[in-house]
């Protein structure tokens, strides 16, 4: 990798690798600042107010990471000895170091996913414990959208969260990529219109309306600015004023009280204003990559719904994922492959880069 300059690299490891655009840097540099622990950083306040209003919540809290946002959510909903129902592959169970258990003594109750990423309603219902001293108190249902790049169907989100509410559970959405889901859904809305153009960005009003429709199924929603939205750092948790005040105490204990954080919040604000509808470009690039990988016998490519392409090595090729990743890296193409090969498109890749990635994969198998 050392001889490949960062300029010519095609980095598909994650949508977190984007560098702020010149316009975003300018917005960050110009941001009015204050001390956010005193609550008087105007840029942080503007971001929190903007996101809360956009998604239909009373309040929001800017935090350093999606992990801390989920932690603040789970620990605001649950006490020691409570539990949350969550998917086996959900970020806030599998990928956050067990933080809710470690820092909050909150036990996860993980459930297996169906093929479309949902949790069976019957499984959720069966996992809710009766009021009995043998059991942890089931307090929260935590869902994720998108999950592994899949858009969880809206009707399902509605039903699952209604079920949770009937049982007195709070509902949290890990919407790190909520706007990818909203953009994909808005594209479906647009496809029903005669004037829709398949390659056009969806209309902002449609995206906002889809994002809000999803978010309003939940009591709290976490959104990442540092993924496809292209900001360098930051996430936000949305909820009621009361819950966000609880979350603020947890954020402080977790060391997430930042001072002149407006510098970062301004990047996130810029992303909300300028990088939402364009997520459609990332989705189109993911399609292009999946098409480029189609027909390779050793690969089973999942048709992408948003900006993540998963490809499973099949047959004897299954043993060769490390070799493939090394082959790609030597050609300046970076991907990951923990369970499946994963390619993520974003602001800093283009059609030529994606084509280069597909060609490098093809070359590996043809060699």
The least CB distance from residue 148 to ligand PLP, in Å, is 9
Establish how many alpha carbons lie within 13 A of residue 246's alpha carbon, considering only the half-sphere containing its beta carbon.
15
Residues found near ligand PLP in the complex (CB under 6 A): 65-67, 70, 91, 144, 174, 176, 224, 226-227, 235
The least CB distance from residue 361 to ligand PLP, in Å, is 24
The least CB distance from residue 173 to ligand PLP, in Å, is 10
Q: Which is nearer to ligand PLP, 224 or 333 (CB)?
A: 224
The least CB distance from residue 367 to ligand PLP, in Å, is 33
- Distance, CA of 132 to CA of 303 (rounded, Å): 45
Q: Which is nearer to ligand PLP, 91 or 283 (CB)?
A: 91
Tell how strand 82-87 and strand 137-144 pair up.
parallel
Burial grade of 43 (CB within 10 A; 0-12, 13-18, 19 or more):
buried
The least CB distance from residue 8 to ligand PLP, in Å, is 26
Q: 203 by DSSP, 3-state: which?
A: coil
Q: Which is nearer to ligand PLP, 224 or 299 (CB)?
A: 224
Q: Which is nearer to ligand PLP, 36 or 292 (CB)?
A: 36
The least CB distance from residue 235 to ligand PLP, in Å, is 6
The DSSP secondary structure of 20-47, one letter per residue, reads PPHHHHHHHHT-----GGGT--HHHHHH
Q: Which is nearer to ligand PLP, 91 or 342 (CB)?
A: 91
Q: Which is nearer to ligand PLP, 272 or 324 (CB)?
A: 272
Beta-ladder partners of 308? 344
Q: Which position's Cβ is nearest ligand PLP? A: 66
Whose tokens are 């936000």? That residue is 236
Contact assessment for residue 194 and residue 313, using Cβ atoms and an 8 Å cutoff: no
Establish how many alpha carbons lie within 13 A of residue 219's alpha carbon, considering only the half-sphere containing its beta carbon.
24
- Distance, CA of 223 to CA of 227 (rounded, Å): 9
Contact assessment for residue 311 and residue 341, using Cβ atoms and an 8 Å cutoff: yes
Q: Which is nearer to ligand PLP, 325 or 344 (CB)?
A: 344
The least CB distance from residue 227 to ligand PLP, in Å, is 6
């Amino acid at each position: 990798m050392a001889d490949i300059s960062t300029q010519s690299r095609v980095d598909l490891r994650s949508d977190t690798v984007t560098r702020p655009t010149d316009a975003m840097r300018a917005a960050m540099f110009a941001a009015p600042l204050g001390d956010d622990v005193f609550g008087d950083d105007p840029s942080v306040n503007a971001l929190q107010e903007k996101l809360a209003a956009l998604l239909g919540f009373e309040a929001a809290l800017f935090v350093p990471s999606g992990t801390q946002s989920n932690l603040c959510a789970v620990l605001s909903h649950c006490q020691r000895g409570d539990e949350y129902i969550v998917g086996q592959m959900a970020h806030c169970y599998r990928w956050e170091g067990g933080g809710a258990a470690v820092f909050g003594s909150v036990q996860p109750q993980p459930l297996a996913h169906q093929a479309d990423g949902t949790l069976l309603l019957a499984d959720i219902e069966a996992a809710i414990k009766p009021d009995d001293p043998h059991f942890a108190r089931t307090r929260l249902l935590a869902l994720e959208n998108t999950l592994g790049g899949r858009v969880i169907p809206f009707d399902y989100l509605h039903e699952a969260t209604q079920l949770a509410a009937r049982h007195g559970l709070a509902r949290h959405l890990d919407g790190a990529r909520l706007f990818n889901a909203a953009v994909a859904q808005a594209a479906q809305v647009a496809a029903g219109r005669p004037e829709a153009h398949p390659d056009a960005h969806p209309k902002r009003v449609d995206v906002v309306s889809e994002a809000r429709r999803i978010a309003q199924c939940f009591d709290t929603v976490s959104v990442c600015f540092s993924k496809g939205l292209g900001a360098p750092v930051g996430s936000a948790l949305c909820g009621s004023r009361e819950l966000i005040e609880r979350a603020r105490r947890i954020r402080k204990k977790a060391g997430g009280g930042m001072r002149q954080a407006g510098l970062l919040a301004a990047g996130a604000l810029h992303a909300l204003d300028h990088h939402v509808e364009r997520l459609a470009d990332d989705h189109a690039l993911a399609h292009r990559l999946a098409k480029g990988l189609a027909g390779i016998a050793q690969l089973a490519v999942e048709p992408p719904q948003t900006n993540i392409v998963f490809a499973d090595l099949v047959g004897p090729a299954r043993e060769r994922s490390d070799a493939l990743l090394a082959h790609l890296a030597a050609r300046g193409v970076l991907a990951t492959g923990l369970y499946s090969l994963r390619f993520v498109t974003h602001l800093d890749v283009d059609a030529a880069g994606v084509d280069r990635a597909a060609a490098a994969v093809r070359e590996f198998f043809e060699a």
